[in-house]
Amino acid sequence: MPVREVYYTMMKTDNPPQKELTRTGLVRLFLRGSKRWFALAILFTPLVSLLELLNPQIIRFTVDSVLGGTEPDSGSLLAVLPELMGGTEFIRTHLWIAACAVLAVSTASLLCRYLSQLTQAAGAETLVETMRNMLFVHIQHLPFAWHMEHQTGDIIQRCTSDVEMVKRFLSDQLTGIFRIVVLIVLSLCFMFGMNVRLAALASFVIPVVVGSSFLFHRKIASKFLECDENEGKLSTIVQENLTGVRVIRAFGREQYEVAKFDAQNRYYVSLWVRLGRILSLFWVTGDFICVLQVLLLLVCGSVFAVRGELTAGEFIAFLSYNGMLMFPIRRLGHMISELSKAGISLNRIREILASPEETDPPDALTPPLDGDIVFDHVSFGYDGCPELLHDVSFTVPSGTVFGILGGTGSGKSTLMHLLCRLYDLKPGCGTISVGGVDIARIRRDHLRKGIGIVLQEPFLFSRSIAENIGIAAPGIGMDEIRAAARTACIEETVDRFRDGFDTTVGERGVTLSGGQKQRTAIARLLVGRSPVMIFDDSLSAVDAETDAKIRRALRHDFRGRTVILISHRIATLMEADRILVLSGGRIAETGTHDELMRHGGIYRKNYELQMKSPDDEAVPVPGDEPPGPAPQTAEVNHE
């Protein structure tokens, strides 16, 4: 079973995943796809250490027994192997045998090291792939409210820098711990076998270095957390500046943004400098202890050698083993400091994976979405904010064009967010139903596929125009893309581009004008052929004539579908079958254009502001055919 499926099987158990997602469990989950690679790396890594430990023994035997004439200990490996190679005397006259033995062991060590690093690299990259897949898929299923609460730059930093930190620790230290254990244990065994007092002197450094590492562990962790969080803030500044570059240039805010970035960057650097001071003290302390141990070992070993308690070959081998012992001990200290950093990064990743996803009830339905849409006594407020919608009730009949008018902050877009279940209603705050079925009982993906929406500021991906339009209907042909573009009044514009529909738009569609982006997004909505289509002020950047053409095309090509138009422009709404006027989160008026005009309320005031010049009695909607003879006016205002 693929790792992601295993992950989602675990995450969708009856027990709340955020309570069970411990750091240990998360590590085991991450390692599922790379276990075999790390197992091979763990196999080869101790072999490297074992082979490296053999060469000092060969050198010791050559110096003491071959050149010095001392008999090796009976029954030892160094007493048996020379006899198989012709005896000590034969080796003394053929020293190349000893050299070849050192070369053979070194070659075998290099081969094992190569295989160890190869399998470790494969495991590390598989681990990163697993972590990124899990994070990306999980983030895709998190509620819209979660995305509104978390900064994009911080999320990116967690998915890149923190993932890399965890990868470095698990791939380097996980396999390294086995090498460290082998080196420490075997080095001490060989050293105690040669001289117990000198070995005891050499081993005193182990508890001292490990103890000092744990003392620094907590300080390193707290400082690294602060650095990590501020790196996320720095990433957010960069991300916002890159996506909002046109706004910054338009208002001449370059120097302000540079100063803002520089201040955060300097603070971020200062945090790393403080952490660097702690790490420097940590490493200097460890190095001082290790150097002191080597000096004591050299003095005492020399004394033992002069007294005859230690042979020259044993002393050389002892120093070699001590050098091998110092590496894993210092590495152990480094591992503890890296554990501090990796633990912080793992916690930040766990915060994302432990965030509850959007869920559907087990008996979620997939009913047809071409029925009436009913808002029944709906009240809603965003978390931490006052209530925005107050007891709102209305019906959108199936197959009609429904218009919504309201001032800024009146709750127009919030109604559509609730309809798409980007936010859920709290118990007791009313219901929303489609075709008589409460949307809380409808599967989210089914509901969202059946309700297409175009926002006032549509998002376009950095792909070709054709790909942006066809993204809502995979496998769609070019003829259908062109038909949708024609309905959205963008086909002629695109054909004038040098590469036509193959033109690649910039990030977020930055290379297109506001009206071109809106019309491209409308075409993207149309290819999906959703039974419910919502235009959330998505015609605000097109001229009145194009607005009218798009509305006429929609009536002609998509008759029978439910269309919801949200707009500040009266001309966009006046031909809707029914119009709802919101004010302060409440329904102020509802009716047809004629009914609202006779009522003389908010709608009529907006009409008079937008559609009448000081000298006009009435003006027809620009670009539309009037229902009767046009009033005689001296001048027509085309906005």
40 and 155 part of one domain: yes
Q: How many residues does the chain have?
A: 639
Mean pLDDT of 599-612: 84
Q: How far is CA 177 from CA 174, 182, 218, 542, in A?
A: 6, 9, 21, 64
pLDDT recorded at residue 320: 77
Helix (H) or strand (E) holding 396, with range, is strand 389-396
Per the structure, the complete domain to which residue 262 belongs is given by 3-353
Same domain, 607 and 525: yes
CATH number at residue 418: 3.40.50.300
Nearest residue to 561 via CA among 525, 533, 523: 533
Instruction: Name the range with the highest mean pLDDT among 140-144, 341-345, 391-395, 495-499.
Output: 391-395
Q: Are residues 33 and 125 in the same domain?
A: yes
Residue type, 159: C
Position 622 in a domain: no
pLDDT value at position 258? 86
Determine phi and psi for 361, rounding to 5 degrees.
Answer: -65, 155
Q: What is the mean pLDDT of residues 51-61?
A: 73
| Amino acid 434: pLDDT | 93
Q: Note the pLDDT of residue 88.
A: 66
Residues 297 and 384 in one domain: no
Same domain membership, residue 112 and residue 70: yes
Is 306 in the same domain as 241? yes
Task: Provide the H-helix boundaries in 23-95.
Answer: 23-30, 35-61, 77-84, 88-93
How far is 339 from 170, CA to CA, in rounded Å? 9
- DSSP structural state of residue 421: T
Q: Is 534 helix (H, G, I), strand (E, B) or coil?
A: strand
CA geometry: angle at 16 spanning 12 and 17, to 5°? Answer: 65
Most confident of 71-75, 130-134, 340-344, 622-626: 130-134
Query: Over pLDDT 90: what percentage of the chain?
Result: 8
Q: What is the CATH classification number for the domain harbouring 68?
A: 1.20.1560.10
Paired tokens of 270? 């200062």
**Within-domain flag for 630:** no
Q: What is the model's pLDDT at position 380? A: 92
Please name every residue paired with 403 in a beta bridge, in sequence order, or none if there are none.
Answer: 565, 579
Helices 312-353 and 205-243: crossing angle, nearest 10°? 40
Q: In this predicted model, what pLDDT tens digit does every residue of 403-416 receive, in sequence order?
A: 999 888 888 888 98
pLDDT in tens, 455-483: 877 888 888 888 888 887 877 888 888 98
Of the pLDDT bands very low, low, confident and very high (cuts 50, 70, 90), residue 90 is low
Condensed to tens digits (0 to 9), the pLDDT of residues 301-344 reads 888 878 877 777 777 777 777 777 777 777 776 677 677 778 88
Count CB neighbours of 459 within 10 A: 10
Q: Are residues 388 and 308 in the same domain?
A: no
> Cα–Cα distance between 364 and 282 in angstroms, integer?
57
pLDDT digits (tens, 9 = 90+) for 1-52: 444 444 555 444 433 344 456 777 777 778 887 888 888 888 887 788 777 7
Q: What is the rounded CA–CA span in Å between residue 9 and residue 11?
A: 6
Structure confidence at residue 374 (pLDDT): 94
Q: Which residue has the tokens 């010049």?
A: 613
For residue 522, give the nearest of 481, 492, 576 by alpha carbon: 481
pLDDT at residue 394, rounded to an integer: 93
- The answer on 382 and 325 residing in a single domain is no
Amino acid (one-letter) located at 402: F
Q: Is the pLDDT of residue 639 over 70?
A: no
Two structure tokens written together for 352: 């994302």
**b (16+ CB within 10 A) / e for 568-603:** bbbbbbbbbebbbbbeebebbbbbebeebbeeeebb
CB atoms closer than 10 angstroms to residue 314 = 24
Residue 360 belongs to some domain of the structure = no
Q: Tell me the CB-side half-sphere exposure of residue 273, using CA atoms within 13 A.
A: 6
pLDDT (mean) for 494-513: 80
Q: Give per-residue pLDDT as tens, 425-439.
A: 888 899 999 999 999
Tens-digit pLDDT profile for residues 208-234: 777 777 777 677 777 877 887 788 788
Total structural domains within the chain: 2
- pTM score of the predicted model: 0.69
Question: Is 391 in the same domain as 329?
Answer: no
- Token digits for 505? 């738009």
Residue 618 lies in a domain: no
Whether residue 626 lies inside any domain: the answer is: no
Residue 465 inside a domain? The answer is: yes
Is there a domain that residue 42 lies in? Answer: yes
- Is there a contact between 329 and 211 (Cβ–Cβ < 8 Å)? no
> What pLDDT, on the 0 to 100 scale, is given for residue 612?
66
Token pair for residue 451? 């309700």
Helix, strand, or coil (residue 517): helix
The answer on 384 and 281 residing in a single domain is no
Distance CA 571, CA 621 (A): 6
What is the average per-residue pLDDT within 63-75? 62
pLDDT at 580 over 90: yes
Q: Tens digits of per-residue pLDDT, 147-183?
A: 888 888 888 888 888 888 888 888 777 667 777 777 7
- pLDDT tops 70 at residue 79: no
Residues 133 and 231 in one domain: yes
Rounded to whole angstroms, how far apart are CA atoms 102 and 110?
A: 12
Higher pLDDT, 507 or 302: 302
pLDDT at 99 over 80: no
Lowest mean pLDDT among 80-89, 297-306, 380-389: 80-89
Do 559 and 491 sit in the same domain of this protein?
Answer: yes
Residue 18 CB partners (closer than 8 Å, separation 6+): 354, 355, 356
583 belongs to a structural domain: yes
Map residue 197 onto helix, strand or coil.
Answer: helix
Confidence of residue 82 (pLDDT cuts 50, 70, 90): low
60-69, 491-500, 538-547: range with lowest mean pLDDT: 60-69
pLDDT at res. 553: 76
Q: Is the distance from CB of 418 to CB of 498 less than 8 angstroms?
A: no
pLDDT at residue 623, rounded to an integer: 36
Pairing of strands 437-438, 373-380: unpaired
